[in-house]
Amino acid sequence: MRARLLAAAAELIPERGWSAVSTRALAERAGVSSSVVHYHYPSIQAVLREAALGLIARLVGELDTVLAGAATAAGAIGELLAAIRAYSGTDPVSLLAIETYLAASRDEQLRAGIAEALAEFRARLGHWLGEHAIPAPEPTAAVLAAALDGLVLHRGLDTDLDSATIDEVLARLVPQDG
Amino acid sequence: MRARLLAAAAELIPERGWSAVSTRALAERAGVSSSVVHYHYPSIQAVLREAALGLIARLVGELDTVLAGAATAAGAIGELLAAIRAYSGTDPVSLLAIETYLAASRDEQLRAGIAEALAEFRARLGHWLGEHAIPAPEPTAAVLAAALDGLVLHRGLDTDLDSATIDEVLARLVPQDG
DNA sequence: GTTCGTACAGGACGATCGCACAGGTCGATT
DNA sequence: AATCGACCTGTGCGATCGTCCTGTACGAAC
């Protein structure tokens, strides 16, 4: 039942906004009484936090499988862009991620969790870039991660952001010796 | 008095979150009765929308003065990074901007307004890049704008993101012939 | 067969929400 | 002096909020 509550939270946060997810709406979506929420969790915030951090962790975990499909650095950019192509900036996953960024500014526990996930993402990406002879791998990973998040953010406002030219521009970030 | 309400909204949106700004809190911050809100505006959403779009427009307007201080493309990157250095990702302006992005997904009028502002930002930046012989200026401007927004977003979680190395990495986006 | 802990339902608490409406103050107009 | 419109206050409506409290169904333990 905790899983059903978490799934309901993951649906409602993008729909209504973090601070507008109510106990009753959450329970109704999960198909249970509103008392169940406070039986399993001390507060609404705790449900939202767990649901959000769970999704973020899954997103970070996807990085490895994405990078596994790329041989060159430019190829990795293409793979990364292809991976975030599913996130239109208006889909539930994108919105939930951004909502979590914001809620983290008002919830220290959430901030710590998401900061750890971001650090892990950058560390893995930086390690991969270093292995593929990209100069300054860690800062490059940081800029790349920020650019990917920013692109998802902007794609919610301009759906033209997935043109092929974006790939070429973003590939400038990973200069190859050859 | 409308100005006082808008100023109060600009304070409260980052503090509480878009959907958690109430009529009474808004009125109290502005130093008036809660009825004043509905006297000047048809709804709370209308106040938040006007306040948010006003701030976004001011931010876009800053671009020209920033670019005016740069001669080369790499110099422009430095100026842009210096300009967003004031936005820590946890300051009111950053948070208000991100809140507006999110609220736009639930408010078509807001979405149209912010999309127009973003288009203008990219057009101006793209035009400047084109004048300075950067290849593919428009897509470069789009990626650059996304990267800047993403960097602000991530700086809220990792304050190390303003190291000098970021400048060099981001400067790869604007290759010069020489 | 009785006891007991777990997992749920239902209802009620005071607080707060957006919004509407009736009155009141006050400078400008006639 | 009377009138008017702009602007603001106070109050109240019904709805919804988070949380707590009281059952109750039910399988496991003994």
Average pLDDT over residues B39-56: 96
Indicate yes or no: CB of B147 within 8 angstroms of CB of A150.
yes
A178 pLDDT band (50/70/90 cuts)?
Answer: very low
pLDDT of residue A18: 95
pLDDT of residue A51: 96
**Which residue is closest to C21 in terms of CA–C1' distance?**
B35
pLDDT in tens, A96-106: 999 999 999 99
d(CA B149, CA A114): 18
Strand C contacts in A 12-71 (CB under 7 A): 27, 32-36, 39-40
pLDDT of residue A120: 95
Amino acid at B100: T
For the CA of B34 and the C1' of D9, the distance in angstroms is: 9
Indicate yes or no: CB of B142 within 8 angstroms of CB of A157.
no
Indicate yes or no: CB of B136 within 8 angstroms of CB of A165.
yes
pLDDT in tens, A43-66: 999 999 999 999 999 999 999 999
B35 pLDDT band (50/70/90 cuts)?
Answer: very high
For the CA of A1 and the C1' of D25, the distance in angstroms is: 17
For the CA of A70 and the C1' of C9, the distance in angstroms is: 53
With b for 16 or more beta-carbon neighbours within 10 A and e for fewer, the B26-64 pattern comes to bbebbebeeebbeeebeebbebbbbbbbbbbeebbeebe
Average pLDDT over residues B120-132: 94
- Continuous segment of H or E residues that includes residue B114: helix B108-131
Which of A154, A160, A167 is the best substitution to test chain B (most B C-beta atoms within 10 A)?
A: A154
In B, minimum Cα distance to A137 occurs at B169
Indicate yes or no: CB of A99 within 8 angstroms of CB of B101.
no
**For residue A30, which nucleotide's C1' is closest to its Cα?**
C8
Q: Is the pLDDT of residue B11 over 80?
A: yes
pLDDT of residue A61: 94
Average pLDDT over residues B85-114: 93
For the CA of A28 and the C1' of C5, the distance in angstroms is: 26
d(CA A143, CA B114): 24
Q: Is the pLDDT of residue A159 over 80?
A: no
Indicate yes or no: CB of A146 within 8 angstroms of CB of B147.
yes
Average pLDDT over residues B107-122: 94
Question: In angstroms, what separates the C-alpha of A151 from chain B's closest C-alpha?
Answer: 5
**pLDDT exceeding 70 applies to what percent of chain B?**
99
Q: Is the pLDDT of residue B178 over 60?
A: no
